[in-house]
Amino acid sequence: MAEPTRRQPDDPASARLWGGRFRGDLDPTIAAFTTSLPFDRRLYRADILGSIAHATMLGRCGIVPADDAAAMVRGLREILSEIDAGLLAIEGAEDIHTFVEATLRRRIGDAASRLHTARSRNDQVATDLRYYLKTEIVKVVGRVVALEQVLLALAEGHPSVIVPGYTHLQRAQPVLLAHHLLAYLWMLHRDAGRLRDVFARTDALPLGAAALAGTSYPIDRELVASLLGFAGVIPNSLDAVADRDFAVEFTAAVAVLMAHLSRLAAEIVLWSTTEFGFVDLADSISTGSSIMPQKKNPDAAELIRGKASRVTGDLVTLLSMLRGLPLAYNSDMQEDKEAVFDAVDTAHASLQAMGLVLHGIRFNGERIAAHLRGGLMGATELADALATRGMPFREAHELVGRIVLYAQDRGRELWELTPDEYRQFNALLADGAELATPAGAVANKRSAGGTAPARVAEQLSAARTAVTETLSWLAALPAPPVERETAAAEPGPAPGR
């Protein structure tokens, strides 16, 4: 039997983290098909910091010589610094793990061959993705709370503006504009809460599970978790490498967030139409038509609305990919990253764009006031007044329906009918005109969470507290020790760089 060809360290095939039992090179088409570097390159920071923590642990536990561990840490920090500075291109490898290790080997020699001791790419990539997502969750929460602050400022800036409230896109009951805006703030606050929940379940270390069964080396997983800022370690090695619940949960949370942004965007699109005219959008956030000179289009809002479907697709991709996978790792799971990355990018871009849209929005008080006419939106107040004065509500509903027809036939608003006209229907409604005004209807909604001014003032106070609580959570998150130590070890820029 012919002896297998021994590859030299500089051979392209030697850059792979496997190959000793293979006689030939991988077919180029299969190599291109299986490579993940085009997309997992964005995990470089998580991968290198994870390797620094791993190498540190190997040295402290006496698994590799202390000098080799120190050389690996120095070399990895140098690689990270050069990539960050744009001085080192990520290319020419099967995946980000292979690139980092091959680059380290070229820098420090044989000591780099010890880096992969007591780990597998299976637990390594799971660690990379969790570390990366923790960072991105914090950034997304920061953008969410920033958008909450914009909504809060808009609500505080329009405390007495009344707008039509809609059901079925038909005018229903008047509400304060601040109340309407705060509805979206509370949606976003729940989104921030969901993302924080995902952060807590992402905050567990897979490294040390190795390929699937753990390792025979005397490793210290808790030390690695501490260095990387993880709250603890995943207790089951099979689950550690096979789990992607955290990725599904993150994408699901972002899908709900995008649904909320899409609803807000749809309302902005509607309100900016000539038919509504509730808002004017700044030129800086609008676009024109290539054929119609008069057009001013809310493209940014429309794109936010459309991009929500992308993240829904990302979520379906992840759920479909995981469904039916046997334990433990399978290459199908390589497909998780592009879906997660797309959800991350879409969330960041959409939140940023929505912030600009809201900063550039102006409410048109005259057009809003004009839309308070014509909908007979005080009818519910009349029915409620009759019910509180002793008439069964269903009977009151029927009577007010006749009053609505009476006003419609005469082209008048309910608040324009005279006391005598109301008495013709029922003496209990002599004050019906006052009850039916937009201001009167709003003032009567004093139930908890209602649109009465006093209740909205309470809601504004609660919203400020909620925003502060999220900001406090963000401020309390410490930088992982490996980040702090790496930053402290980096030299200053070279002269002329």
Tell me which residues are annotated as active site.
168, 289
β-strands 162-167, 170-176: how paired?
antiparallel
Nearest to 212 by CA among 128, 119, 334: 119
Q: 88-126 burial, b for 16+ CB within 10 Å, e for fewer? A: bebeebbbbbbbbbbbbbebbeebbbbbeebbbbbbbbb
CB atoms within 10 A of CB 371: 17
The neighbouring-strand residues paired with 205 are: 233
Give the Cα separation of 396 and 399 in Å (integer): 5
Give the Cα separation of 237 and 219 in Å (integer): 14
Give the Cα separation of 494 and 497 in Å (integer): 5
Give the Cα separation of 72 and 200 in Å (integer): 31
CB atoms within 10 A of CB 156: 15
Give the Cα separation of 41 and 135 in Å (integer): 16
Q: At what angle do helices 481-489 and 44-60 cross, to 10 degrees?
A: 90
For every residue of 431-471, DSSP letters joined together read THHHHHSHHHHHHT--STT-SSHHHHHHHHHHHHHHHHHHH
Give the Cα separation of 51 and 357 in Å (integer): 42
- Written as one letter, the residue type at 483 is E
Phi-psi region of 9 (alpha: psi -120 to 50; beta: other; left: phi over 0): alpha
β-strands 204-205, 162-167: how paired?
unpaired
